A and B are shown apart, each in its own frame.
Chain A
Amino acid sequence: MSDFWIILTGSLVASCCAILGVFLVLRKMAMIGDAISHSVMPGIVIAFLLSGSRDSVLMMFAALAFGLLTTFLIQMFQQSGIQSDASIGVVFTALFAVGVVLVSLFARQVHLDQDAILYGEIAYVHWNIWELGGVNMGPRAVWLLGFTLMVIVAVISLFYKQFKLCAFDPALAAAIGIPVAIFHYLLMGLVSMATVSSFESVGAILVVGLLIIPASTAYLLTERLGMMIGLSIGVGIASTVLGYLAAKMLDASIAGCIVCAAGVLFALALLFSPSQGIVAKKLRLRKLAA
Chain B
Amino acid sequence: MANIWSMIADPNMQWIFLGCTLLGLSSGVIGSFSYLRKQSLMGDTLAHAALPGICIAFMLTGIKSIGLFLIGAGLAGLIATFGIGYITRHTKLKQDAAMGIVLSSFFGLGIVLLTVIQHGNYGNQAGLDKFLFGQAASMIGSDVITMSIVCIVLLSICTLLFKQFKLISFDPGFARGLGYPVAALEQLMMLLMVVAVVAGIQAVGVVLVAALLITPAVSARYWTNKLSLMVILSGIFGAASGAVGTLFSASVSNLPTGPVTVLAATLMFGISILFGPQRGIVAKRLMRQRAKRRFAVQREISIHDNTKKEAAL
> A89, B215: Cβ atoms under 8 Å?
yes
Complex formed: what's the CA distance from A212 to B119 in Å? 29
> B108, A93: Cβ atoms under 8 Å?
no
Between B100, B132, B211, the greatest number of chain A beta carbons within 10 A of the residue's beta carbon is seen for: B100
> B258, A256: Cβ atoms under 8 Å?
no
Complex formed: what's the CA distance from A205 to B105 in Å? 11
> A94, B104: Cβ atoms under 8 Å?
no
> B94, A28: Cβ atoms under 8 Å?
yes
Complex formed: what's the CA distance from A115 to B256 in Å? 14
User: A30-B99, A256-B108 are known contacts. Are A86 and B35 too (CB-CB below 8 A)?
Assistant: yes
User: A90-B269, A259-B108, A263-B105 are known contacts. Are A98 and B40 too (CB-CB below 8 A)?
Assistant: no
Report B129-153 CB contacts with A as 1/0, cut-off 8 Å: 1001100000000000000000000
Is B112 on the interface with A (CB-CB < 8 A)? yes
* B residues less than 8 Å from A209 (CB atoms): 104-105, 107-108
Question: Which B-chain residue is minimally distant from A29 (CB atoms)?
Answer: B96
Report A233-268 CB contacts with B as 1/0, cut-off 8 Å: 000000000000001001111011111101100100
Residues of A in contact (CB 8 Å), total 61
* A residues less than 8 Å from B97 (CB atoms): 25, 28, 30, 212, 216, 219
> A90, B107: Cβ atoms under 8 Å?
no
Stretch of B9-17, B21-29, B65-73, B260-268 with 4 or more beta carbons under 8 angstroms from chain A: B260-268
State the Cβ distance, B214 to closest chain A Cβ, in Å. Answer: 4
> B111, A100: Cβ atoms under 8 Å?
no
Complex formed: what's the CA distance from A250 to B116 in Å? 7
> A205, B107: Cβ atoms under 8 Å?
yes
Within B222-266, which residues are at the interface with A (CB < 8 Å)?
252, 254-256, 258-260, 262-263, 266
The binding surface of chain B is classed by DSSP as helix
Is B273 on the interface with A (CB-CB < 8 A)? yes
Is A157 on the interface with B (CB-CB < 8 A)? no
Is B201 on the interface with A (CB-CB < 8 A)? no
Is A136 on the interface with B (CB-CB < 8 A)? no
Is A208 on the interface with B (CB-CB < 8 A)? yes
Between B43, B132, B221, B262, the greatest number of chain A beta carbons within 10 A of the residue's beta carbon is seen for: B262
> A93, B104: Cβ atoms under 8 Å?
no
Between A90, A208, A270, the greatest number of chain B beta carbons within 10 A of the residue's beta carbon is seen for: A90
Between A100, A255, A258, the greatest number of chain B beta carbons within 10 A of the residue's beta carbon is seen for: A100
Within B20-50, which residues are at the interface with A (CB < 8 Å)?
35, 38-41, 43-44
Complex formed: what's the CA distance from A278 to B113 in Å? 29
Residue in B38, B115, B273 whose CB lies within 8 Å of A256 = B115
State the Cβ distance, B48 to closest chain A Cβ, in Å. Answer: 8
Is B93 on the interface with A (CB-CB < 8 A)? yes
Is B109 on the interface with A (CB-CB < 8 A)? yes
Stretch of A49-57, A101-109, A126-134, A140-148 with 4 or more beta carbons under 8 angstroms from chain B: A101-109
> A276, B91: Cβ atoms under 8 Å?
yes
Is B92 on the interface with A (CB-CB < 8 A)? yes
Report A59-72 CB contacts with B as 1/0, cut-off 8 Å: 00000000000000
> B111, A107: Cβ atoms under 8 Å?
no
> B93, A25: Cβ atoms under 8 Å?
yes
State the Cβ distance, B78 to closest chain A Cβ, in Å. Answer: 18
Question: Which A-chain residue is minimally distant from B261 (CB atoms)?
Answer: A97
Is A2 on the interface with B (CB-CB < 8 A)? no
Complex formed: what's the CA distance from A256 to B269 in Å? 34
Residue in B94, B100, B208 whose CB lies within 8 Å of A97 = B208
Is B166 on the interface with A (CB-CB < 8 A)? no
Is B57 on the interface with A (CB-CB < 8 A)? no
* A residues less than 8 Å from B44 (CB atoms): 34, 89
Question: Which B-chain residue is minimally distant from A281 (CB atoms)?
Answer: B90
Within A185-202, which residues are at the interface with B (CB < 8 Å)?
none
> A206, B111: Cβ atoms under 8 Å?
yes
> B87, A270: Cβ atoms under 8 Å?
yes
> A212, B104: Cβ atoms under 8 Å?
yes
User: A107-B254, A262-B105 are known contacts. Are A83 and B35 too (CB-CB below 8 A)?
Assistant: yes
Is A96 on the interface with B (CB-CB < 8 A)? yes
User: A104-B259, A119-B115 are known contacts. Are A216 and B90 too (CB-CB below 8 A)?
Assistant: no
State the Cβ distance, B173 to closest chain A Cβ, in Å. Answer: 19
Complex formed: what's the CA distance from A220 to B93 in Å? 8
> A119, B111: Cβ atoms under 8 Å?
yes
* B residues less than 8 Å from A114 (CB atoms): 132-133
Complex formed: what's the CA distance from A263 to B49 in Å? 13
Question: Which B-chain residue is minimally distant from A202 (CB atoms)?
Answer: B108
> A89, B105: Cβ atoms under 8 Å?
no
* A residues less than 8 Å from B103 (CB atoms): 34, 208
Binding site for A on B (CB under 8 A): 35, 38-41, 43-44, 87, 90-94, 96-97, 99-101, 103-105, 107-116, 119, 129, 132-133, 207-208, 210-211, 214-215, 217-218, 221, 252, 254-256, 258-260, 262-263, 266, 269, 273, 279, 281
- List 17 A–B pairs whose Cβ atoms lie within 8 Å, in order of A's numbering: A30-B100, A82-B221, A85-B96, A90-B266, A97-B211, A97-B263, A100-B258, A216-B100, A247-B112, A251-B116, A251-B119, A252-B119, A253-B112, A256-B110, A256-B115, A263-B108, A276-B92
> Which 7 pairs between the two chains have the least Cβ-Cβ distance?
A259-B108, A263-B105, A209-B104, A93-B211, A256-B111, A97-B259, A212-B100
